[in-house]
Structure 1
Amino acid sequence: MAIAPDLAGHVAAARMLEVSGESVRRWKRVWEEGGTRALRRRPAAGRPPKLDNGQVEQARAALEQGAQAHGFEADLWTLERFGVVVERMTYVSLSRASVWRLLTGRLGWSLQWPERRAVERDESEIARWIAHEWPRIKKGR
């Protein structure tokens, strides 16, 4: 069975690119209709974001003010807290996953864990103990 010359080129191109022959034919059709510009990658179509750029900047400003500025007892952001603040400011309710994408994607923030330190911690007393007591204890071994 002989393959038509035009089709043989498609098959060879498909093998070389490791795609289906249909993809090659579709790309050729798009190129013939619109040229090289028509082949350029376009952003994936999908649902537009719930927050516009202005609302995202409002959210960024709220983050920078800290959680206490928005009525929370501790100055620690959680997904739930930030979601509440975004909803108060924009009247848009976001799921936890959407809040996470907003923080890590559009705002560029990352997950941080607070340092666990006692409020009563006295750095100068720790330094004194390390300088004076620890050498004495170590020498006594």
Structure 2
Amino acid sequence: MLVWDRLNTHVSRAMRKMIDDRCWLTVFLPPAYSPELYPVEGLWAHVKRSLANLASVALDRLETLVCNRLKRLQYRPAVLDGFLAGTGLDLDLDPPPSP
């Protein structure tokens, strides 16, 4: 399954051909602006909240902190499940038809 997010670089002829050449691929095309449907939006909001008071930190240190926060989340599956649940999407349903 592919969730196609409508980013302008993702709607090229090459991308359409790649999809058309894979009959087994199911494509889900969400509404144009729908951050609530993307679990990664919740994840980034969570990470950014933990970095809010570090605006003056050097860029290389900030990169290390972001990587550290993401690494910690790998060991907290309940938190990651919460980001999925926050979308309200039922992941057990059959996928929608391809566009």
Same fold (TM over 0.5): no
Q: Give the greater-gyration-radius structure (CA).
A: 1
TM-score where L is the length of structure 2: 0.25
Instruction: State the structure with bigger RCO (CA 8 A, min sep 6), 1 or 2.
Output: 2
* Structure with the bigger percentage of helix: 1
TM-score where L is the length of structure 1: 0.19
* Structure with the bigger percentage of strand: 2
